[in-house]
């Protein structure tokens, strides 16, 4: 009996040892199986999800360009399409804060109706136009504000651009263009005052007078004076003053007139060669002297009551109401 019991114990021990030896193998098999299952899941779902999480992290950390690239490659996986649009939106907003208004506007316009993209596109266009205005590029600013369809105070900004353009034209001597711009502005700002200040020059250029004759001067002093103006271009107005004592010319002066804004006159001055003469009260005749001089001459032309007036060498040569 004792022997049988011993044999049973031995058999039991052997079985126990066999079971124990099988456990590690089972554990290894289970682990391998689980790993294979996880790998399969990772291949099917895990890698795109990991990529998705990485892309979201990029977006949250301001790496919008990288996030856009990642989301574009993920199609409609989870919320990739939504995250793609959001990344583009955030990139456009950052571009706006960097004062790249043209680029930002284009980016917002590509987003269509997403959030407030349309409003921000208009804001970028407005900021770009304001940037041009500040830089003194009035023509481009005028065009940019004109495309805003009344956004904010763009209508007022258009008038401001036109006024500043008119001022610039005056500085450049382009009086006709400036006059037309100011006329179109009506009562805006200081337009009326500025228009009035350039009106004499404008009318002189438009009329292009060639002959100024003072009948009284011609009859009493037997002399005539011609003032010829030649419009070279809108920047230059050439004035030639020429006088005669009846038959013979006694002075010729070719001077360039300058617009004096404070006086509202076209002024000219300079050296001129002329023969001097005197009026003989006893005979009632003009006596020409035999000597000549290089003298300073001054004068100005102004517009009044529909006529051009000439003041020359401190004498009033009258006006001409007919231009030839």
Q: For 222-282, what is the HEC assignment?
A: CCEEEEEEEEEECCEEEEEEEEECCCCEEEEEEEECEEECCCCEEEEEEEEEEEEEEEECC
Q: What is the pLDDT of residue 49?
A: 87
- Radius of gyration of the chain from its Cα atoms, rounded to whole angstroms: 47
What's the confidence (pLDDT) of residue 212? 44
Confidence of residue 170 (pLDDT cuts 50, 70, 90): confident
Of the two residues 178 and 6, the one the predictor is more confident about is: 178
Q: What is the mean pLDDT of the chain?
A: 74
Helix (H), strand (E) counts: the chain = 11, 8
Provide the pLDDT confidence category of residue 218 given band limits of 50, 70 and 90.
very low
Residues paired with 288 in a beta bridge: 277
Band the pLDDT of 201: cuts 50, 70, 90: confident
- The pTM of the full predicted model, rounded to 2 decimals, is 0.59
**Average pLDDT of span 78-91:** 97
Q: What is the pLDDT of residue 294?
A: 52
Poorest-pLDDT segment among 115-129, 244-258, 278-292, 306-320: 244-258
pLDDT of residue 173: 77
* Res 94 pLDDT > 90: yes
Query: Which band of pLDDT confidence, cut at 50, 70 and 90, is reported for residue 197?
Result: confident
pLDDT of residue 265: 66
Instruction: Name which of 276, 269, 228, 227 is nearest 250 in CA terms.
Output: 276
What confidence tier does 215 reach under pLDDT thresholds 50, 70, 90?
Answer: very low
Which one is predicted more confidently, 34 or 243?
34
User: What distances in angstroms separate CA 122 from CA 99, 105, 126, 142, 268, one per listed residue?
Assistant: 14, 7, 6, 15, 52
pLDDT at residue 286, as a whole number: 52
**Predicted pLDDT of residue 148:** 97
pLDDT at 23 over 80: no
298 contact partners, CB below 8 Å, separation of at least 6? 267, 268, 269, 312, 313, 314
> 225-234, 247-256, 277-286 — which one is most confidently predicted on average?
277-286
Q: Is the confidence at residue 65, as pLDDT, over 50? A: yes
CB 126 within 8 A of CB 141: no
Please provide the DSSP assignment of 138-158 as one string.
HHHHHHHHHTSTT-TTHHHHH
Tell me the three state secondary structure of residue 48: helix
Give me the mean pLDDT over the 90-106 stretch.
98
pLDDT reading at 184 higher than 80: yes
Residue 140 has pLDDT above 60, yes or no: yes
**CB of 243 closer than 8 Å to CB of 249:** yes
At 50, the pLDDT band (50, 70, 90 cuts) reads: confident
């Amino acid at each position: 009996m004792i022997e049988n019991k011993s044999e049973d114990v031995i058999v039991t021990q052997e079985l126990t040892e066999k079971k124990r030896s099988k456990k590690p193998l089972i554990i290894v098999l289970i682990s391998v199986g689980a790993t294979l299952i996880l790998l399969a899941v990772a291949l099917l779902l895990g890698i795109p999800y990991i990529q998705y999480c990485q892309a979201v992290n990029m977006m949250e950390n301001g790496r919008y360009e990288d996030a856009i690239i990642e989301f574009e490659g993920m199609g409609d996986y989870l919320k990739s399409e939504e995250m793609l649009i959001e990344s583009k939106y955030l990139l456009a907003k950052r571009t706006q804060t960097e004062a790249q208004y043209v680029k930002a506007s284009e980016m917002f316009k590509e987003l269509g109706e997403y959030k407030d993209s349309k409003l921000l596109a208009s804001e970028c266009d407005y900021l770009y136009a304001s940037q041009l205005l500040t830089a003194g590029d009035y023509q481009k600013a005028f065009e940019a504000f004109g495309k805003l369809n009344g956004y904010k105070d763009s209508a007022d900004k258009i008038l401001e651009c036109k006024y500043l353009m008119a001022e610039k034209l005056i500085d450049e001597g382009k009086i006709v263009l400036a006059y037309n711009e100011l006329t179109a502005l009506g009562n805006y700002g200081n337009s009326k005052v500025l228009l009035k200040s350039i009106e004499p020059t404008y009318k002189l250029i438009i009329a292009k007078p060639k002959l100024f004759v003072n009948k009284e001067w011609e009859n009493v002093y037997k002399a005539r004076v011609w003032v010829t103006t030649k419009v070279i271009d809108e920047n230059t107005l050439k004035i030639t003053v020429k006088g005669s004592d009846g038959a013979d010319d006694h002075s010729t002066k070719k001077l360039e007139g300058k617009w004096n804004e404070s006086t509202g006159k076209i002024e000219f001055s300079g050296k001129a060669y002329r023969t001097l003469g005197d009026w003989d009260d006893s005979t009632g005749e003009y006596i020409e002297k035999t000597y000549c001089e290089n003298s300073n001459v001054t004068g100005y032309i102004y517009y009044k009551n529909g006529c051009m007036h000439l003041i020359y060498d401190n004498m009033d040569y009258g006006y001409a109401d007919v231009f030839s």
